Amino acid sequence: MLDSSLMQLMWLASPALPIGGFSYSECLEAAVDSARAATESEASAWLVDQLHLSLSRSDLPAVAQAIPAWRDGDNARIATLNAWVLQTRESSELRAQTEQMGKSLLEWLRNHTTAKPAQIAVLAGQAPTYPIAFALAASATQAPVRECLLAYAFGWAENMTQAAIKSVPLGQSAGQRILSALTAEIPAAIDHALSVTDDNRQAFTPMLAILSAQHEVQYSRLFRS
């Protein structure tokens, strides 16, 4: 992989990317509030489960399938995958998260000059989702799909670790241990994601949906999801 491709992926994985990922916990805050993930070990186990049971079965496969579609100019495939991501968001706040981050990433791409204006227009004409917008940004790096998924998963892991630090709350050392546990599991999650097809891609996480609905009316909260 070219140095320029690697650096672009590092940029996309950075929590400093101005797309608002730091403002979401993806229901972790509700899990903490309901004492399901109220300690370091519980939060770590929760996020590892989320990686394997949710991310590796849904968003990561969608990204993996969208990258070649962007490179091939298959706009119909892009529209299908984007619609699927929208349909799998089971609460208003989870849908708002993917749309807000997707729109913000498209705005970043408009100023970053790596994606073509015509490509940006394809997604801007829909309700853009973050996984498909990320796939567009990653496709422009010309990096292999697996490396693109590593960047996506690590960016997610870093954001979720920061959410755990703030919501449990935990110290920085505990956060590093959680991030270490997640990075150790990411390669296997990506292997699974790369094997997923349209027929077995899924988003069946009923507890996340329930917790998200509860989080929407939670009395005190730090995060938007």
CATH code, 28: 1.10.4190.10
Percentage of the chain surpassing pLDDT 70? Answer: 99
Range 113-122, long-range pairs (CB < 8 A, 24+ positions): 114/8, 114/140, 114/141, 115/139, 115/140, 119/70, 122/75, 122/78, 122/79
Least confident among 114-118, 135-139, 153-157 = 114-118
pLDDT digits (tens, 9 = 90+) for 160-177: 999 999 999 999 999 999
| Residue 13 counted as domain residue | no
| CA–CA separation, 21 and 24 (whole Å) | 6
Per the structure, the complete domain to which residue 200 belongs is given by 24-215
Predicted TM-score (pTM) of this structure: 0.96
List helix spans (H) across 1-91.
3-13, 28-33, 40-50, 59-72, 75-87
| Residue 94 counted as domain residue | yes
If one counts the domains in the chain, the total is 1
Least confident among 50-54, 56-60, 110-114, 123-127 = 110-114
| Residue 142 counted as domain residue | yes
| Average pLDDT of every residue of the chain | 94
Confidence of residue 220 (pLDDT cuts 50, 70, 90): confident
| Residue 16 counted as domain residue | no
pLDDT digits (tens, 9 = 90+) for 20-41: 999 999 999 999 999 999 999 9
Helix (H) or strand (E) holding 92: helix 92-112
Least confident among 92-101, 106-115, 149-158, 186-195 = 106-115
| Residue 152 counted as domain residue | yes
The answer to whether 211 and 221 have CB atoms below 8 angstroms apart is no
| Residue 60 counted as domain residue | yes
Check residue 2 and give its pLDDT: 82
| CA–CA separation, 139 and 17 (whole Å) | 17
Alpha carbon 3 to its chain centroid, in Å, reads 24
Q: At what angle do helices 172-195 and 145-167 cross, to 10 degrees?
A: 150
